[in-house]
């Protein structure tokens, strides 16, 4: 018999009991993962989900668009921050995209467009932009 005593009783503990008690303490310490690992896992999963959304789900508006007024419009779209650079008849305008709404900064103010079914409908005008291969 070993001379150590259990904290709840006055009966001396055997070496086997002491070993069992130390194993239980080790196991109970490892029941829950470290909170830092949990936070790293959660942040990594959020970044991965956002990357998948931007890379695969988010709609791009890059390329040539044709307006009903006869203009050829070239749009460059940065999917990560939704910046738009729109070239109409040699003039480049800067815009941004929020969801399906397109805000275009022009000399005379801001134009608002709505992207729907691969067409951009401009609020306040009858002009509709469509990509090649899509019927007006």
Chain segment 54-93, per-residue pLDDT in tens = 888 888 888 899 998 888 999 999 989 989 999 988 888 8
Predicted TM-score (pTM) above 0.75:
no
Per the model's pLDDT, the better-predicted residue between 16 and 43 turns out to be 43
How far is CA 32 from each of CA 21, 26, 42, rounded to the nearest angstrom? 19, 12, 15
């Amino acid at each position: 018999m070993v001379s150590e005593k259990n904290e709840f009783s006055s009966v001396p503990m055997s070496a086997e009991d002491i070993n069992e008690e130390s194993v239980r303490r080790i196991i109970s310490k490892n029941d829950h993962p470290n909170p830092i690992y949990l936070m790293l896992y959660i942040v990594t999963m959020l970044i991965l989900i956002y990357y998948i959304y931007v890379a695969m789900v988010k709609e791009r508006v890059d390329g040539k668009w044709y307006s009903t007024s006869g203009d050829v419009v070239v749009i460059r779209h940065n999917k990560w921050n939704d910046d738009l650079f729109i070239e109409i008849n040699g003039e480049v305008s800067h815009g941004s995209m929020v969801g399906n709404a397109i805000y275009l900064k022009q000399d005379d103010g801001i134009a608002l467009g709505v992207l729907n079914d691969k067409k951009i409908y401009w609020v306040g005008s009858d002009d509709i932009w469509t990509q090649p291969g899509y019927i007006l």
